[in-house]
């Protein structure tokens, strides 16, 4: 009986987590193409000047991100001298890290990078409309606890997105163009001093 | 069909070029190695300063993509080195004695090589790459010498396990006219290569000490 109660509590807890913070959620997902632009349009490779900052520490270099085929994307981070930091492969909701430089090859760094690189570079196939604080948004559910929220101007994604774990906002991202770059991506974690600054290097 | 033939011709042309490059270098006889090494050491000993431009080509095998960076290199005896990238974006790495400065568009940072083992290693590697003589260490590398009519090629294969995990081979190219390094090629286990070509090399030009100081 106690076991059953525990299971019920757990189920209720998970359901409450799963409800996220989305209001008026419509259980119908739509294709994202008309709302969020594809990462790769004419080019199949993009290069970004990259800074990853954690408190007063930072690593800088270049991320090369390439579309290998319709479902697999791969990237590489190298520093200015050409020394490889890590490689990654993105396919659907999964990111795999490879060839990580020895001094950052720790399971918790790997996990964090996998999550963050997915948020930075993925484009969800399906998104669901809902509203947060009366603002209409589109939500992509990566897994039971992880959600991306994309803000729109009513039609298109504005470039602003948030990452939610359960019902907590854990990171925010802004993508925009400026004078020096076709695409600038800034991502900031809410509860730790980890930030990413990317700006596309014009070919 | 015409495109196919054109592609085959290009592949054949590239292949013949690579073969010709490799064929141009012949092994230096064991008896001649000490004399060759002596010339490299003498050139290094007489070097007080150096100024050149460089082109760095990083080839990423898994992506079949490359990143080309260009900049200026300054060196002065007394642990002074300035490695300044102008493209694809501005980045400066300067070494002055025990101090390392890193400058980019947004910030300037200073480190002490005495307290930072990583920067000490990077600085040593960069400094030693300038003349090449210190890199040719038979305790750390298996060393093989080759030569063409104009250049000496030194292949260094790391003996150390940690170094082996990062680099398969370092190839240094010395010009026979100066016995100074003109090209460095690094081959990684995953197949990536980094090639740094030094151009417009000026040996022992006057360079002011201020060029190696970065204001914070």
A97 and A191 assigned to the same domain = yes
**Do residue B88 and residue A47 have CB atoms under 8 angstroms apart?**
yes
Q: Is residue A58 part of a domain?
A: yes
Q: Over the stretch B97-116, which tens digit does the pLDDT of each residue have?
A: 888 899 988 788 888 877 76
More confident call, B139 vs B150: B150
**Do residue A80 and residue B91 have CB atoms under 8 angstroms apart?**
yes
DSSP state, A202?
Answer: P
Question: Would the pLDDT of B121 be above 90?
Answer: no
Residue A152 Cα distances to A27, A35, A137, A161, angstroms: 19, 8, 6, 9
What does the block give as tokens for B198? 């030094």
Confidence of residue A5 (pLDDT cuts 50, 70, 90): low
Q: Is A29 helix (H, G, I), strand (E, B) or coil?
A: coil
A100 and A193 assigned to the same domain = yes
The range of the structural domain enclosing residue A59 comes to: 41-122+175-203
Sign of torsion over alpha carbons A151, A156, A158, A163? positive
A130 and A34 assigned to the same domain = yes
Q: Over the stretch A165-192, which tens digit does the pLDDT of each residue have?
A: 988 999 999 999 998 899 999 999 998 8
More confident call, A43 vs A12: A43
A64 and A86 assigned to the same domain = yes
The percent of residues above 70 in pLDDT, for chain B, comes to 85
Instruction: Find out whether A193 and A42 touch, Cβ atoms under 8 Å.
Output: no
Q: CA B167 to CA B155: how far, in whole Å?
A: 12
Omega of the bond leading into B88 within 30 degrees of 0 (cis): yes
Confidence of residue B23 (pLDDT cuts 50, 70, 90): low
Q: CA B52 to CA B47: how far, in whole Å?
A: 14
Residue B139: per-residue pLDDT: 82
Residue A142 Cα distances to A40, A118, A148, angstroms: 21, 10, 7
What order of strands is seen across the sheet that includes strand B80-87? B26-27, B141-147, B151-158, B169-175, B181-187, B193-203, B49-60, B65-76, B80-87, B91-96, B99-104, B108-112
Within B41-179, strands assigned E span: 49-60, 65-76, 80-87, 91-96, 99-104, 108-112, 141-147, 151-158, 169-175
Contacts of B63 in chain A (CB under 8 A): 45, 64, 66, 74-76
pTM as predicted = 0.83
Q: Is residue A197 part of a domain?
A: yes
Q: What is the b/e burial string over A79-88, where b = at least 16 CB atoms within 10 angstroms of the residue's CB?
A: bbbbbbbbbb
Residue B28 Cα distances to A109, B51, B142, B158, B180, angstroms: 47, 30, 15, 20, 18
Q: How many folded domains does chain A comprise?
A: 2
The answer for A 59-88 residues in CB contact with B (under 8 A) is 60, 62, 64, 66, 74-76, 78, 80-82, 84, 87
A80 and A156 assigned to the same domain = no
Give the H or E element holding residue A69: none
Query: Phi and psi (nearest 5°) for A27?
Result: -75, 25
A71 and A158 assigned to the same domain = no
Burial grade of B106 (CB within 10 A; 0-12, 13-18, 19 or more): exposed
Q: Over the stretch A88-131, which tens digit does the pLDDT of each residue have?
A: 999 988 999 998 888 788 999 999 999 999 999 998 888 888 88
Question: Would the pLDDT of A10 be above 50?
Answer: no
Give the H or E element holding residue B19: helix B2-24
Residue A155: per-residue pLDDT: 82
Sign of torsion over alpha carbons B97, A49, B66, A87? positive
Q: Is residue A46 part of a domain?
A: yes
Domain-by-domain residue ranges, chain B? 28-212
A with B: how many residue pairs have Cβ under 8 Å apart? 51
Residue A171: per-residue pLDDT: 97
Confidence of residue A13 (pLDDT cuts 50, 70, 90): very low
CA angle A75, A78, A82 (to 5 degrees): 135
**Do residue B194 and residue A87 have CB atoms under 8 angstroms apart?**
no
The CATH number of the structural domain formed by B28-212 is 2.50.20.10
Question: Would the pLDDT of B18 be above 70?
Answer: no
**Do residue B89 and residue A74 have CB atoms under 8 angstroms apart?**
no
Question: Would the pLDDT of A31 be above 90?
Answer: no
A117 and A91 assigned to the same domain = yes
Question: Would the pLDDT of A19 be above 90?
Answer: no
Taking the CA of residue B197 and the nearest CA in chain A, the distance in Å comes to 13
Q: CA B162 to CA B144: how far, in whole Å?
A: 21
Question: Would the pLDDT of B3 be above 80?
Answer: no
SS3 letters across B53-77: EEEEEEEEHHHCEEEEEEEEEEEEC
The percent of residues above 70 in pLDDT, for chain A, comes to 87
A85 and A137 assigned to the same domain = no
Q: Is residue A89 part of a domain?
A: yes
**Do residue A80 and residue B69 have CB atoms under 8 angstroms apart?**
yes
Residue B2: per-residue pLDDT: 52
A70 and A58 assigned to the same domain = yes
Contacts of A81 in chain B (CB under 8 A): 56, 93, 122, 194
- State the ipTM, two decimals: 0.80
Q: What's chain A's average pLDDT?
A: 85
End-to-end alpha carbon distance in chain B: 61
A58 and A73 assigned to the same domain = yes
A116 and A192 assigned to the same domain = yes
Contacts of B58 in chain A (CB under 8 A): 78, 82
Residue A146: which of A76, A71, A94 has the closest Cα?
A94
More confident call, A203 vs B90: B90
* pLDDT (average), residues B184-213: 92
DSSP state, B101?
Answer: E
Q: Is residue A15 part of a domain?
A: no
A159 and A91 assigned to the same domain = no
Taking the CA of residue A156 and the nearest CA in chain B, the distance in Å comes to 31
Instruction: Kindly give the residue spans of alpha helices, DSSP state H, lying in chain A.
Output: 2-18, 107-121
């Amino acid at each position: 009986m106690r076991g059953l109660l525990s299971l019920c509590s757990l189920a209720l807890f998970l359901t409450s987590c799963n409800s996220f913070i989305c209001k008026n959620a419509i259980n119908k997902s739509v294709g994202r193409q008309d709302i969020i632009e594809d990462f790769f349009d004419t080019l199949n490779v993009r290069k970004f000047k990259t800074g990853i900052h954690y408190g007063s520490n930072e690593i800088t270099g270049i991320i090369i991100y390439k579309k290998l085929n319709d479902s697999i994307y791969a990237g590489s981070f190298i520093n200015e001298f050409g020394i490889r930091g890590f490689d990654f492969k993105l396919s659907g909701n999964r990111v795999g890290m490879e060839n990580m430089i020895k001094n950052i090859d720790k399971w918790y760094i790997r996990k964090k990078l996998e999550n963050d690189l997915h948020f930075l570079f993925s484009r969800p196939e399906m998104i669901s409309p809902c509203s947060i604080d009366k603002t209409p948004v589109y939500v992509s559910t990566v897994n039971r606890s992880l959600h991306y929220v994309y803000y729109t101007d009513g039609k298109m994604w504005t470039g602003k997105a948030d990452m939610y774990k359960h019902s907590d906002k854990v990171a925010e991202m802004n993508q925009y163009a400026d004078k020096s770059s076709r695409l600038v991506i800034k991502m900031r974690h809410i509860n730790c001093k980890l930030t990413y600054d990317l700006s596309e290097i014009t070919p | 069909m015409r495109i196919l033939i054109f592609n085959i011709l290009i592949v054949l042309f590239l292949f013949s070029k690579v073969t010709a490059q490799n064929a141009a270098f012949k092994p230096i006889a064991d008896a001649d190695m000490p004399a060759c090494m002596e010339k490299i050491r003498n050139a290094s000993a007489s070097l007080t300063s150096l100024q050149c431009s460089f082109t760095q080509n990083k080839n990423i095998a898994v992506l079949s993509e490359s990143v080309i960076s260009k900049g200026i290199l300054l060196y002065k005896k007394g642990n002074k080195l300035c490695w300044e990238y102008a493209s694809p974006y501005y980045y400066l790495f300067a070494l002055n004695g025990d101090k390392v400065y890193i400058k980019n568009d947004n910030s300037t940072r200073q480190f002490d090589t005495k307290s930072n083992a990583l920067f000490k290693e990077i600085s040593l590697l960069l400094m030693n790459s300038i003349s090449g003589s210190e890199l040719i260490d038979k305790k750390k590398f298996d060393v093989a010498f080759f030569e063409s009519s104009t250049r000496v090629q030194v292949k260094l294969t790391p003996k150390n396990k940690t170094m082996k995990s990062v680099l398969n081979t370092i190839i240094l190219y010395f010009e026979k006219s100066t016995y100074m390094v003109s090209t460095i090629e690094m081959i990684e286990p995953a197949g990536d290569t980094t090639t740094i070509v030094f151009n417009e090399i000026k040996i022992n030009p006057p360079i002011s000490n201020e060029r190696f100081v970065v204001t914070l």
